[in-house]
């Protein structure tokens, strides 16, 4: 699982999207990025997905169930 976080311009760049597509074709799972205020001060896509969502995704991928 990859949880990318970067500026929206970086995320939307053709080279980034080509690499994301390549990884997805190799069955790598992505969670996010999310939309909101970015560290650079801009608002838009690029925020890291909320940690709780990442943890839940990892548990699902590993087939871990809560007691």
Task: Output the pTM of the full model.
Answer: 0.80
| pLDDT tens column, 36-65 | 999 889 999 999 999 999 999 999 988 876
Domain-wise residue ranges, the chain: 8-62
Q: Can you tell me the mean pLDDT for 16-40?
A: 95
**Per-position DSSP letters for 15-59, written without gaps between them:** HHHHHHHHHHHTT--B--PEEEE-TTS-EEEEEPPPHHHHHHHHH
State residue 67's pLDDT score: 60
- Residue 5 phi/psi, 5-degree rounding, is -145, 125
């Amino acid at each position: 699982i990859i949880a990318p976080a970067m500026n929206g311009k970086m995320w939307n760049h053709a080279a980034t999207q080509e690499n994301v597509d390549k990884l997805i074709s190799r069955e790598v799972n992505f969670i996010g990025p999310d939309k909101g205020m970015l560290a650079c001060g801009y608002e838009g896509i690029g925020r890291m997905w909320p940690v709780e969502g990442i943890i839940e995704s990892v548990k699902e991928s590993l087939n871990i169930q809560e007691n």
